[in-house]
């Protein structure tokens, strides 16, 4: 598949082996894994980092294979998920850093264009998340209020 804002194709990457059940060496204690996920989230770890930590430290190659639920679903059940989806939050942080950089370096045209592209992605994601009701219907992206929104 082609890139969104470039005229080139993406790199091919490795694919996880297709498995029906968890490997014998993996940690398969459902309750312990769910407790770990909730504890890591309460420490302030993002959902994607939780998956990496579980894989690297605790020997859980795939949370969904073991528990039958995705990390986000487990967080929602325990009411510790964030109000802004993680991918949107990451893009907002990126846009905030770009705005700060452009405040110091106003003539940086390459990063000015990158800011436009990132904010276009943000607006597209906001439209999707308001349509799927993961965000309130009156939610709009405003660069001025982003820092306040992310500090919550």
Q: pTM of the entire structure?
A: 0.83
C-alpha dist (Å) from residue 92 to 101, 111, 144: 14, 15, 11
- Predicted confidence at residue 88, as pLDDT, reads 95
Q: Is 17 helix (H, G, I), strand (E, B) or coil?
A: coil
Question: In this model, does residue 25 exceed pLDDT 60?
Answer: yes
pLDDT 10s digits, 75-116: 999 999 888 999 999 999 999 999 999 999 999 999 999 999
pLDDT-above-70 percentage for the chain: 98
Query: pLDDT class for 47, splitting at 50, 70, 90?
Result: very high
Whether the CB-CB separation of 82 and 89 falls below 8 Å is answered with yes
The CA-based angle 141-49-88, given to 5 degrees, is 10
- Predicted confidence at residue 2, as pLDDT, reads 66
> Of 39, 43, 48, 40, which is closest to residue 72 (Cα–Cα)?
48
> Residue with structure tokens 């990451």?
90
Dihedral of CA atoms 105, 107, 112, 113 in degrees, nearest 10, equals -150
- Domain 86-151: which topology? Helix Hairpins (1.10.287)
Whether the CB-CB separation of 120 and 126 falls below 8 Å is answered with no
pLDDT 10s digits, 49-74: 999 999 999 999 899 999 999 999 99
């Amino acid at each position: 598949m082609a890139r969104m804002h470039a005229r080139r194709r993406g790199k091919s990457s490795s694919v996880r082996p297709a498995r029906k059940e968890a490997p014998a060496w993996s940690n398969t204690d459902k309750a312990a894994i769910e407790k770990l996920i909730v504890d890591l989230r309460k420490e302030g770890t993002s959902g994607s980092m939780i998956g990496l930590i579980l894989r690297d430290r605790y020997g859980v190659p795939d949370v969904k294979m073991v528990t039958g639920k995705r990390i986000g679903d487990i967080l929602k059940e325990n009411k510790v998920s964030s109000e802004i989806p993680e991918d949107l939050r990451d893009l907002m942080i990126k846009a905030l850093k770009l705005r700060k950089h452009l405040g110091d370096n106003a003539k940086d045209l390459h990063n000015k264009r990158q800011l436009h592209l990132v904010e276009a992605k943000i607006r597209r994601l906001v439209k999707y998340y308001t349509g799927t009701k993961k965000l309130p219907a009156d939610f709009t992206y405003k660069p001025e209020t982003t820092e306040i929104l992310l500090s919550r």
